[in-house]
Amino acid sequence: MSAHTKGSGGDGLKWVGRSIRRLEDPALVQGRGRFTADLPAAHWVRFVRSPNAAGKIRGITAPDGAVVITAADIAGVKKITPMLHKFNYKPVGQPILAEGEVRFVGEAVAAVVAATEEDAEDFADLVEIDIEDAPALVDGRAAIADGAPQLHAGVPGNVIVKGEFKTPGFDDVWTGAAKIIRCEARSNRQNATPMEARAAHAAYDSATGRITLHCTTQMPHLVRTAIADCLGIPESDLRVIAPDVGGGFGQKMSLCPEYVLIAWLARHLQSSVAWTEDRRENLIASFHSRDQYITLEGAFDANAKLLALRANVLANTGAYSCFPTSCGMEPLMAMAEMPGPYDVQQYECLARAVVTNTCTMGAYRGVSRPSITFTLERLMDKAAKAFAIDPLDIRRKNLITQFPYKSAIGLEYDEASYRETMETAVEAINVPAFRARQQLARDKGEYLGIGFATFSERTGYGSPAFAARGMAITPGWETVHISVDPSGFVEARIGSSPHGQGLRTTLAQIIAEEIGVPPQTIKVVHGDTDTAPYGWGTFASRSLVISGGATLIAARKVRAKLLKIAGHMLEAAETDIVLEDGKAKVAGTDREVTVAAMAREAYTQTHRFKGEIEPGLTESGTYDPPGTFSNACHVAIVRLDVETGHVKVERYLVAEDAGRIINPMIADGQVHGGVAQGIGNALLEEIIYDESGAILTANLADFMPPTAHEIPPIELHHMETPSTQSITRAKGLGEGGTIGPPAAIVNAINDALTPFNVEIDTIPATPQRIRALLRNATNSARPRAGGDPGATT
């Protein structure tokens, strides 16, 4: 099947494919959203955090009158200890409060409880922590250097995960290659920076002894499972609610030790306890992301066909290992997906995670893919240069075009449109016109550049993909319960837990399509472990595929049952009945019955069904798909101010294919937001530690998410290759926007730098870094006024 089409949204579908307004919005635009920090509490908590990156705790002195909890007070609480059963994983436990020693600046050492946040902070300021300062390991490469101090007793050499892979024929192909091209790429550390920082509120019910924990999380059920494990209590004694969640981007998919303590405190105090993280804490002590060194080499034949790839991935994963994915997430995803959209059957990879005295790594939108795509796409541009061919031509020679495709490491790629999206982007951006403009600009001493990024985005993968990583917990499937209640209204309870993705709207569209009621009348309920079926949450571009698939399965069952009931009530054959406009109609007649009437019948008049139809109108669906690949081509045009090193993104274009689009407006919004974060990754955002392990970027002036000024208009082109691996035919697209920009933008910067014969392979590509290159370059390769020594493409 060759099924790429320009974005359709058609197919005679009534609701799927339409940009209906979001059902989430009326409350949110009126200030009626309910976020965790909105809840009042009897007690407020302030964490006392380590000012040192490493060292033994000699003593903690509490001020008079303060309630201060330390590790000694919570001795029975288990450490957070995620597990991988593969890849030489060395399990480490993260204590809820530092025990005996500290391992990063910002690690929680004590918790102060007081009546207000202000009072708690006043007391916290007076808590004295005496630490015997030890040298800090900050950089990933330093962690594996000879003689480096060892962070955890069970992790010799600080290597906590080590994945190795090599295809049998690799060496022969490698030695026979015409050219070996090498890229040493550096992705610096980031913070996902959701606008709502972390927050938790736990209330104790004295009648039942239960705790209700509201917290800002992407995975409420797993928070319940994990906290129940830590505290050694039945899960039924803990209700977790993710109310409105102010963005997550992966940062809120790992278990926070702080949440464990808040739940513990509510039980301990038999009262309500709350903690709202401040921005400084979020920047130094929540979860960080990226921070990889990747050395990637490609072996090419004389025609610039990629024959083999060799990767060395070193991920600095901070002081501990995040739960549930573990710190294997970054390096192991890099290992699995490094070859991206290119056909290459020989592959060798060494992927390691190392522990350091820095904040623990968590997920951040794209996980590893922004870094590996950046590296791979830099490699392709370098190869194009070495072969003196157009960067687009080298991609044309190497993109996967035959599907299904099995990668060297064994991933199954379903049909995608790598080549087609690239050609769409190339045509839309008008490369020849750009090259002419670029030349004119160079003549005036102005430097423009164009850069491309083609990539695949593995999305919507179920439990087998996580099992392949050896995870003790494989967050894969999703369940959805759909009820039509006796009043005739539809409610879907979903295990997934969206936070801005508009899933209430898109799932309602899927249901509406099946059972013929308007989506605006359908309630999608999520985030409360008491009411939602067990589920994993919203992350990894999975929800529309997996939760959407489960929704479709359940909705089809509801549809089948409605048809049966209608058949009974209208005395017609099911095959003659259509569901639309909230009614079942017998085609070609005026006989009809409303869904409301059928629902009422299903509960209150079941005797009429003579045992042929089960009472009630609730159905359930569970879905655990193998995974599907979205893809895209991103193009950036940048203007480089060679005197200041400043880069302005003038134009940004995305041609993407995420299979069937349920709501184009929402899909576009996901891409927009992802691209903006990717631009931040490419140019602006960096968590910087000094040598002592202190963070120099602990506020939003020093850590720089982009503003409206830094983001150009983003042009989108859609293609649709309906997925064969997803029953809704949709592929995921939550992360794709974020994956492309570092590659596209840095390629564009390097295109602009061509006359100077310098290259940058570090993100963010900051003005200081660019100027440092240019300052050295100007000695040898200063461009002639009105001329251009190095234009190649």
Of residues 11 through 50, those in contact with other proteins by CB under 8 A are 21-22, 24-35, 37-38, 40
- The answer to whether 508 touches 491, Cβ cutoff 8 Å, is no
- The answer to whether 565 touches 756, Cβ cutoff 8 Å, is no
What is the residue type of 773? L
Binders of other proteins among residues 172 to 211 (CB under 8 A) are: 193-197
Closest approach, Cβ 580 to other proteins, in A, equals: 26
Query: Which is closer to other proteins, CB of 37 or CB of 335?
Result: 37
Query: Which is closer to other proteins, CB of 511 or CB of 698?
Result: 698
Cα atoms in the 13 Å half-sphere on the side-chain side of 216: 29
370 binds other proteins (CB under 8 A): no
Binding test (CB under 8 A) with other proteins, winner from 567, 673, 732, 736: 673
694 binds other proteins (CB under 8 A): no
Residues ≥6 apart with Cβ < 8 Å to 423: none
What is the size of the binding site for other proteins (CB under 8 A)? Answer: 81
Which one of the spans 182-190, 245-253, 303-311, 447-455 is the region binding other proteins (CB under 8 A)?
245-253
Closest approach, Cβ 613 to other proteins, in A, equals: 40
* Lookup result for tokens 């090259």: 435
- The answer to whether 108 touches 98, Cβ cutoff 8 Å, is yes
Binding test (CB under 8 A) with other proteins, winner from 156, 701, 779, 780: 701
Binding test (CB under 8 A) with other proteins, winner from 88, 303, 439, 699: 699
Closest approach, Cβ 681 to other proteins, in A, equals: 12
**710 C-beta neighbours (distance < 10 Å), count:** 16
CA distances to 32, 518, 708 from 25, rounded to whole Å, are 10, 17, 21
9 binds other proteins (CB under 8 A): no
Beta strand ranges found along 167-210 (DSSP E): 179-191, 199-204
Query: Which is closer to other proteins, CB of 212 or CB of 218?
Result: 218
Binders of other proteins among residues 444 to 503 (CB under 8 A) are: 499-502
Query: Which is closer to other proteins, CB of 45 or CB of 675?
Result: 675
Which one of the spans 169-177, 481-489, 621-629, 765-773 is the region binding other proteins (CB under 8 A)?
765-773
Closest approach, Cβ 709 to other proteins, in A, equals: 3
Residues ≥6 apart with Cβ < 8 Å to 380: 298, 342, 391, 394, 395, 398
Contact string (CB under 8 A) for other proteins, positions 264-303, x = contact: ------------x-xxx-----------------------
In angstroms, how far is CA 12 from the centroid of its own chain? 33
Binding test (CB under 8 A) with other proteins, winner from 737, 740, 742, 783: 737
Closest approach, Cβ 765 to other proteins, in A, equals: 12
Distance (Å, whole) CA 332 – CA 115? 45
Closest approach, Cβ 645 to other proteins, in A, equals: 8
Contact string (CB under 8 A) for other proteins, positions 57-96, x = contact: ----------------------------------------
Query: Which is closer to other proteins, CB of 518 or CB of 669?
Result: 669
Binders of other proteins among residues 717 to 736 (CB under 8 A) are: none
Query: Which is closer to other proteins, CB of 124 or CB of 306?
Result: 124
Binding test (CB under 8 A) with other proteins, winner from 272, 677, 725, 750: 677
Give the burial class of 631: count Cβ atoms within 10 A of its Cβ; 0-12 exposed, 13-18 middle, 19 or more buried: buried
Distance (Å, whole) CA 610 – CA 632? 54
Quote the DSSP letter at residue 528.
B
Phi, psi at 333, each rounded to 5°: -70, -40
Closest CA to 217 of 277, 264, 289, 265: 277
Distance (Å, whole) CA 304 – CA 387? 7
